[in-house]
Structure 1
Amino acid sequence: MKNLAYSLVLAALLHLAPAGAANQIAADHPHLAYTGRVDMADAKAPVLSWPGTSIAANFTGTSLAIVLDDQNGKNYFNVFVDGDTTRPVILQLEKGSKTYLVANGLAPGAHRFLLTKRTEGEEGATVFKGIELDDEATLALPPPRPKRRIEFFGDSITSGMGNEAPDDGRDDLGKDKNNYQSYASIAARQLGAEAHITSQSGIGVMISWFPFTMPDFYDQLNAVGDNDSRWDFKRWTPDVVVVNLMQNDSWLIGRDHKLQPEPTDAQRIAAYQAFVARVRALYPKAYIVCALGSMDATRAGSVWPGYVTSAVANLRASGDARIDTLFFPFTGYGQHPRVKQHQANADLLTAFVRTKMGWTGAE
C-alpha cells in the first residue's frame, strides 16, 4: 500500500504515547465481534493466530487504543477506522503486552473499527486483551454479520505472502504479507461473505517445507505449527469452500523430487482426493471449489491441474454434484502474487461463485 511506510512509523510511535483513555473494555465484552478461528478458551484473553482473523466493533468517543500481547514480536495487524480501507494503521507488534493507540482526535460521536491479522501462524499468536476508549465512551451493538460464509484451505498464496512487496524485490518479509489483500479476502468481501482463512505458507497435501501437511493441520484451533489443538467444526459452517493447494507439492515432488519413493500419478490424485473428501465429510452441503494457481503449478504443460481435475471427476462419479474446479492462470510472474494478481484472481473466483451459488451483489 502507498501509505505502508507512514502507517508503520505512525503505529510504532503511537504505541509509545500515553493513550489518554480511561475506559477499559475487556475482550469478553458482548459487543466485540470476532471472526475466524479464534481461541476463546479464556474469553478475557482470546488468541488470534490464523491469517485474516479479525475483531470489529462500533464505539463512541474521540480515541481508540488496542491492547495486544504478541508471542514473538513478528506479527502485523491492520486497523481500519470508520471504514477507511485505503489508509489502515498498520501495527508492527512488539513481543509482550503493549497498548497501541491507533486513533486520536476523532470527531465526537459514533465510530467503528476493524482489526485484522495480516500475518499467519508462522509469525506466532497474539492475545487480544481489550481496548481503551475515552472516559464515558461506550461500545454500541456490533456490525451485523454477513449471512454468506466462505472458507479457504490454502498455502502462501491464500495467506498473502509477499503481496505488498515490490515487484522486483524479495517477498518473504512479514511486513509485506497482508491477508486482507489476498485473493481470498478480496473475493469474500466482493461476495459479501464472512471468511475463514485456514492457510499456511509452504504447506502441501503430500509434503511441505516443514514436517507437517494440510491433512495434519486443517483441523487445528491454533495455527502456530503442528499442535494438538482442535477446532470445533460445528461452531461455523461455510456455504462455499475453496481449496487451493498443490503448489508446494509441485515444487517439492515434481521439481525437487524430495518425497521418496516418489508418488505415482494415481497416488497424487488419491492424496488430493482424500483431503477434499475430508472437507466434504465436514461440510456435506457446501459448494466446494477445487482451485489451483496463480503460481507456476498452472503454467502451460503442468500436470498438476490434471491431478485436481481427475480427483474432482472421481468425487463427482461417486455422487458429489456440488464440486468443481477453477484454475487461476499463471501469468509468467515468477514470485508470489502481488496485490494486482490477487485482485485478478479474486475477480475470477467472485464471478465463478456467483454463477454457481446464484449470489448477486454483496449482501
Structure 2
Amino acid sequence: MNTNMFLSVAFVLAATVYGGASMPIDKESLALNGRWSVQDTCLCASAPAVSVAFKAVTGEVTFDIEGEARFLFEIDGKPQKYVTVTDRKKQKFSTPKDSKPHTYRLVKVSESNPGKFCIHGIDLGKKGSFAEKPKASSRRIEFIGDSFTVGYGVEGKGPEDGTPFEKTNASKSYAFILSESLRADYHVNAVSGRGLVRNYANIVPEWTLETLYDYTMMGVPEQDANTERWDFDRFHPQVVVVFVGINDFQGEPPYADVGKFKQAYVKLLDRLRALHPGVKFLLVATKTWPNDDLGGVVEGIYNDQVAAGKTDILYKFVYTENTALHGHPSENSQKELANTLRPLVARLGGWLSR
C-alpha cells in the first residue's frame, strides 16, 4: 500500500439495495479516517472520531450499522443529524435531491470501551451513484491519549449530567476540532480511563495504553486478545500529539512508578520515530489530582530529549475547565485546548501561514 495515501483505506463493501440484490461499492469511492478493520463483507472500528466519507449524487443515504454507538451525519462538512444505534439498524438520511455530487461523512462520536461497531452496507437508493473519492489532505496528525482526547462527557452540563454514552462527543474534542481547523487527516487513538502503564483505579491492569496501542480496534482486545493487530504502514502521521499520563497519576493510589512511566514514554517516542521517519511530537500534560505529578514528569522527559539532541519535539502544559461529566473538560474548554495547541502542531508540521 502507498504509505502516502489518505490516512484512510479504500475497500469494496457490499451495499444492500433494499428490495433488490447486493451491489458492490467501487473501492475507490470511500475514504476512512482512523483505524479501521477492513473485512470482506464489512468494515469495523472502535476508536472515537473514526469516519467514512464519500461523494455521491443521490437523494438518500442508508447505512447498515451493527453495534452500540452514536454518530454524526454531515453533508458538505456541515452537521446534519445525530443518531444512536444500539444493535443492528439500517439508518436512513435524506440528502439534497439535485444532480450535483455532495460530500457525505458519518463520524462516530461515542466511545467503544470496550467494544466495536461495523458497517455492513451503504445504500444510495435506486438512482444514486458514487462520484470521485474525497481528496486526501497533505497533513496528517495522530493523537494518543485518554478521556480528555476522546471528548468524554463533553456535553455534560455538570459532573452528574447524564451518562458517558449520552454525553461523550468526539467531534467536540480538541483533537477533532484542531484537525478540522488545520484541514488535516487524523487518527484519534485514545481510550478513557487508561494510562500508559497504570489505568485509573487500576482497572483491567493488563490493558494499558502501552498494550492496547498495537491493536486496530483498541476497544476489542480485552474481549478478544487475538483480534487484529494494526499495520502501521497504513498511516504515517507527520505530527503526533501525546497527551497521556492523567490516569497514571490521578485518583486513588498507588500511582504509576515514575521510572517505569518514563521508560515506557521514551520507548513509545523512539518506536514512533522508527515507524514514521521524520515525525514530530507535541508532548502535552495537565494538572492531576490529588498529587500534581504529571507535568513535572513529562517536562522532565522533554528536557532529557532536548539534552540528547532531539529537535523534533515540543512540550506544552495546559489548563482545562473540568466542569463537564465526571470532572472532564467542557465544550468551551475543549475549544480553548484546540486553540492553544493548534499553533504548536502547525509549527511542527510546517503548516504555519505566512
TM superposition score normalised by structure 1: 0.82
| 323-332 vs 144-153, greater mean Cα deviation | 323-332
Which residue of structure 1 lines up, in the alignment, with residue 109 of structure 2? Answer: 118
Q: Offset at 1:99? A: 0.9
Native 8 Å contact 1:53 1:116 kept in 2:
yes
Return closer, same or farther for 1:166/1:135 CA change in 2, 3 Å cut-off.
same
- Distance between the aligned counterparts of 1:94 and 1:27, measured in 2? 25
* Distance change >3 Å, CA 132–CA 267, structure 1 → 2: closer
Q: Give secondary structure in 2 for the equivalent of 1:80.
A: strand
SS in structure 1 of the partner of residue 113 of structure 2: helix
Q: Which residues of 2 match residues 4-43 of structure 1 at below 5 A?
A: 26=24, 29-42=27-40
* Aligned-pair CA distance for 1:242: 0.5
SS state at 2:71 partner: strand
State the AA in 1 paired with 2:303. A
CA separation in 2, counterparts of 1:104 and 1:184? 28
Q: Could you tell me whether the CA contact under 8 Å between 1:25 and 1:131 is conserved in 2?
A: no
Secondary structure of residue in 2 paired with 1:134? coil
How far is 1:338 from its partner? Answer: 1.7
Q: Compared with structure 1, are the counterparts of its residues 270 and 339 closer, same or farther at alpha carbon in structure 2 (3 Å cutoff)?
A: same
**Structure 1 residues 267, 36: closer, same or farther in 2, change over 3 A?**
closer
- Look up the match of 1:277: 270
Q: Distance in 1 between matches of 2:260 and 2:56?
A: 54
Q: Alpha carbons of 1:147 and 1:328: their partners in 2 closer, same or farther (altered >3 Å)?
A: same
Asked if the contact 1:292–1:327 (Cα under 8 Å) also holds between the matched residues in 2, the reply is yes
Gaps of 5+ in 2: 1-16
Unmatched segments (≥5 aa) in structure 1? 1-18
1:128-167 → structure 2 map (5 Å cutoff)? 128-167=119-158
Matched, 1:63 2:63: no
8 Å CA contact 1:68, 1:126 repeated in 2: yes
Alpha-carbon shift at residue 94 of structure 1 (Å): 2.6
| Deviation string, structure 1 residues 99-147 (Cα, Å, up to 9, x no partner) | 1112157445422210111122315211112211232220001211111
Q: Secondary structure at the match of 1:238?
A: coil
Once residues 147 and 117 of structure 2 are traced to their aligned partners in structure 1, the CA distance between those partners, rounded to angstroms, is: 20
Instruction: Classify the secondary structure of the residue corresponding to 1:297.
Output: coil
**Aligned pairs, how many?**
328
Q: What is the match of residue 5 of structure 2?
A: none
Asked if 1:306 is matched to 2:296, the reply is yes
Query: Measured at CA, do residues 320 and 139 of structure 1 come closer, stay the same or move farther in structure 2, by a change above 3 Å?
Result: same
Report if the CA contact (8 A) 2:58-2:96 is conserved: no
For 1:239-250, list aligned pairs within 5 A.
Answer: 239-250=238-249
CA RMSD of aligned residues (A): 2.6
Does 2:351 match 1:359? yes
SS, match of residue 248 in structure 2: helix
Structure 1 residues 332, 186: CA separation in 2 closer, same or farther (over 3 Å shift)? closer
Within the candidate set 305, 315, 322, 1:325 is matched to 315
Counterparts of 2:349 and 2:92 in 1: how far apart (Å)? 42
Indicate how the Cα distance of structure 1 residues 258 and 225 shifts in structure 2: closer, same or farther if over 3 A, else same.
Answer: farther
TM-score, scaled relative to structure 2: 0.84
Q: Deviations over 1:30-64 (max 9, x none)?
A: 2111121111132x311121111110011112111
Q: How far apart are the structure 2 equivalents of 1:241 and 1:35?
A: 15
- The structural deviation recorded for 1:267 is 4.1
Q: Deviations over 1:303-338 (max 9, x none)?
A: 211100111222233332101211221446471112
| 1:10 match | none
Equivalent residue for 2:49, pick from 44, 47, 52: 52
Cα distance in structure 2, aligned partners of 1:241 and 1:130: 32
Counterpart in 2 of 1:316? 306
Residue 121 of structure 1 aligns to a residue whose secondary structure is: coil
C-alpha deviation, 1:84, in angstroms: 1.7
Q: Is the 8 A contact 2:140 2:236 kept in 1?
A: yes
Identity %: 25
Partner in structure 2 of residue 258 of structure 1:
254
Match of 1:92 in 2: 84
Aligned partners of 2:155 and 2:330 also within 8 Å: yes
The letter of the residue matching 1:355 is R
More deviation, 335-344/315-324: 315-324
Q: Residue 62 of structure 1 contacts residue 134 of structure 1 at CA under 8 Å; is this kept in 2?
A: yes
Question: What whole-Å deviation, never above 9, does each CA across 1:282-322 have from its counterpart, x for those lacking one?
Answer: 223111111123xx4299x8221110011122223333210
Q: Contact 2:46–2:220 at 8 Å: present in 1 too?
A: no
